[in-house]
Copies of this chain bind each other. A is one copy, B any other.
């Protein structure tokens, strides 16, 4: 676990703690670690989990595949991000989505019960961690809500605009990159890839935006246009 201390220091959960403090808490929280190969499942639908997880390295997808092979991408997890927290304290709730490694990944687990109850040795920073945890869950909550906003749009165009303008705002610039390829973006917005491509093409023709691979530029409708160049 020691090798991850400097990493953990910068995660939301341990923000504000020194490495030595994290080290001492790691025992208190019964930390453990596991690595996964690309393609391997970290969590499976129907299972239960009692730990809070942080991705230390790699990339994960939270996704759902139904009977008919329909594939929907709920969320992408980057290093430092928390997951499994929504199930960690629920006694009888079963996980509703799969979490899959899309790259070789390493995950750290912390016993939820230990995180939430101040331990007998009274770690002085426990209270801070609880606040951090709360903030992290709140943030996730807001993200889910925002995703619902994208998906609530009736047309593919409006879904795209909702998503892309949020990304642009996040980047605080009209030019930005998205973390998805076309198929993934389609799965994320829950539309057909080909139909989405068609719509993107139309929007470019109408001068709303330009793009190359996963770099996008939002254009103010009335003016002449910078164009995203393929990175070659």
Q: Which residues of A contact B (CB under 8 A)?
A: 64, 70, 72, 74, 85-90, 93, 96-97, 116-118, 127, 130-131, 133-135, 137-142, 144-149, 151-154, 190-192
Q: What B residues does A149 contact at CB under 8 A?
A: 64, 72, 96
Q: What B residues does A134 contact at CB under 8 A?
A: 89, 116, 133-134, 137
Cα distance A178–B221 when bound, in Å?
43
Whether A70 lies near B154 (C-beta < 8 A) is yes
Cα distance A192–B151 when bound, in Å?
14
Expressed in whole angstroms, the minimum distance between the Cβ of A70 and any Cβ of chain B is 7
* 11 residue pairs A–B, Cβ–Cβ below 8 Å: A85-B138, A88-B138, A89-B131, A89-B138, A93-B142, A96-B149, A97-B145, A116-B131, A117-B127, A134-B137, A137-B138
Cα distance A146–B152 when bound, in Å?
14
Cα distance A64–B153 when bound, in Å?
11
Give me 15 other A-B pairs in contact (C-beta within 8 A), A90-B135, A137-B138, A148-B151 excluded.
A64-B149, A70-B154, A87-B142, A88-B138, A93-B142, A116-B130, A117-B131, A130-B130, A133-B134, A137-B137, A140-B141, A144-B148, A148-B148, A151-B151, A153-B190
**How many copies altogether?**
2
Q: Which residue of B lies closest to A187 (CB)?
A: B152
Cα distance A191–B154 when bound, in Å?
7
When A and B form their complex, which 6 residue pairs have the shortest distance between CB atoms, in order from nearest? A86-B141, A144-B144, A152-B190, A72-B152, A86-B138, A151-B151
Expressed in whole angstroms, the minimum distance between the Cβ of A216 and any Cβ of chain B is 22
Whether A74 lies near B148 (C-beta < 8 A) is yes
Whether A127 lies near B118 (C-beta < 8 A) is yes
Partner of A190, one of B117, B146, B154: B154
Q: What B residues does A86 contact at CB under 8 A?
A: 138, 141-142, 145
Q: Which residue of B lies closest to A72 (CB)?
A: B152
Expressed in whole angstroms, the minimum distance between the Cβ of A31 and any Cβ of chain B is 19
Cα distance A74–B148 when bound, in Å?
8
Cα distance A48–B130 when bound, in Å?
22
Q: What B residues does A64 contact at CB under 8 A?
A: 149, 152
Cα distance A87–B146 when bound, in Å?
13
